[in-house]
Amino acid sequence: MTPAKARVLPADVAGLRDAARALAAGGLVAFPTETVYGLGADARNDQAVARVFAAKGRPSFNPLIVHLADVAAARAVCVFDARAERLAAAFWPGPLTLVLPLRAGTGISALVTAGLSTLAVRVPAHPVAQGLLAAFGGPVAAPSANPSGRVSPTTAAHVIAGLSDRIDAVVDGGACDVGVESTIIGLDGPGTAPARLLRAGGLPAEALEACLGGALVTEADPARPSAPGQLASHYAPRGTVRLNADAPEPGEVWLGFGPVPSDLNLSVRGDLTEAAANLFGHLHRLDAMGAARIAVSPVPEVGLGRAINDRLRRAAAPRE
Ligand code: TXA
Ligand code: MG
């Protein structure tokens, strides 16, 4: 069923029509979002969703995010409380995922939620993602379009390098603007339970806290994540990674942040937005260079720096 090599589709009307047709036929189609490229499948088609797990080599207990065209489509599959409505109004479309109680009888495949009673939903802002959702006309389950555990893709070329022989097509919409995955907020407890930050991401936690008028609760125990995908080793380049390096040791390639004489730099002017946009592309480049040992400059733990440090810590975590 899957062709030997993925088709690269243009991000125009004809390309989106082909992509939507492939999704409707149960195919796997990668597409750009403002955060990273997603690997899309019809969220109501068990077989298509199963193929997403197989293509990524993803543990099937790790649920997927469902992408929808607008908040009305999200309300049809999840229960929104007042806080969910407020966050959706403020930040959708955009790099925010909400984990909410799943409605009964939506037709969403149980493989998408890995059997949980909650569903992760997101309305992406990228015009190509919006175009694909409109052309397809249904919910699209999409994890990041990378082999499980490896660096997420921010270009169509990254997708092809990792998954070319396992997917049907990729819509080429250029490089992703934000560069790190969406921020995930859990609002699945009783109405009084605090909102939980399940994954730091492209929308800074500070902006969410300002909107909600209170602090987010973070994971009590990072070793037992409640977002099942938040396993320790993830986002890993092939080389080993050493964090908070003020200088490289002999034999290390230096990934810098700020005005330092590094080999590659996330942002010479120390800009966190620029650093987030460069992060995964630079890790892919280090793989292409064959870097065996990578030293990384410290990155401040504020705003998008929280998402960048989260990904870097997982890239540096011991591998299985
Ligand atoms: O920016 C993004 O979010 C990208 C683009 C493609 O939208 N997608 C993405 O998906 O990062 P993925 O599969 O790489 O990460 C989804 C995360 C995982 O950590 C997963 O465990 C968590 O969302 N998740 C999904 N459903 C959940 C649920 N019901 N409860 C808790 N966590 C959930
Ligand atoms: Mg991922």
Ramachandran angles phi, psi of 29, nearest 5°:
-130, 120
* Mean local confidence (pLDDT), 137-149: 97
CA 250 to ligand 2 center in whole angstroms: 32
Closest CA to 64 of 42, 79, 80, 84: 42
- What's the pLDDT score for residue 320? 67
- What's the pLDDT score for residue 228? 47
Distance CA 133, CA 251 (A): 47
* The pair of three-digit structure tokens given for residue 162, joined into one six-digit string: 């990792």
Flag whether pLDDT at 2 surpasses 50: no
* CA angle, 112 then 103 then 195, to 5°: 85
Question: Whose alpha carbon is nearest atom 21 of ligand 1?
Answer: 229
Question: Whose alpha carbon is nearest atom 32 of ligand 1?
Answer: 227
- Summarised one tens digit per residue, pLDDT across range 215-241 is 999 865 544 545 545 557 777 899 999
93 lines ligand 1 (CB under 6 A): no
**What's the mean per-residue pLDDT of the chain?**
93
113 lines ligand 1 (CB under 6 A): yes
CA 93 to ligand 2 center in whole angstroms: 19
184 lines ligand 1 (CB under 6 A): yes
Closest CA to 120 of 84, 145, 171, 149: 84
- Summarised one tens digit per residue, pLDDT across range 62-115 is 899 999 999 999 999 999 999 999 999 999 999 999 999 999 999 999 999 988
- Summarised one tens digit per residue, pLDDT across range 154-196 is 999 999 999 999 999 999 999 999 999 999 999 988 777 889 9
pLDDT over 70 for what percent of the chain?
A: 94
- Summarised one tens digit per residue, pLDDT across range 268-288 is 999 999 999 999 999 999 999
pTM over 0.85: yes
Cβ neighbourhood burial of 107 (10 Å; 0-12, 13-18, 19+): exposed
* The pair of three-digit structure tokens given for residue 176, joined into one six-digit string: 């992703």
Flag whether pLDDT at 1 surpasses 60: no
* The pair of three-digit structure tokens given for residue 301, joined into one six-digit string: 């733990």
Nearest bound ligand to the CA of residue 67: 1
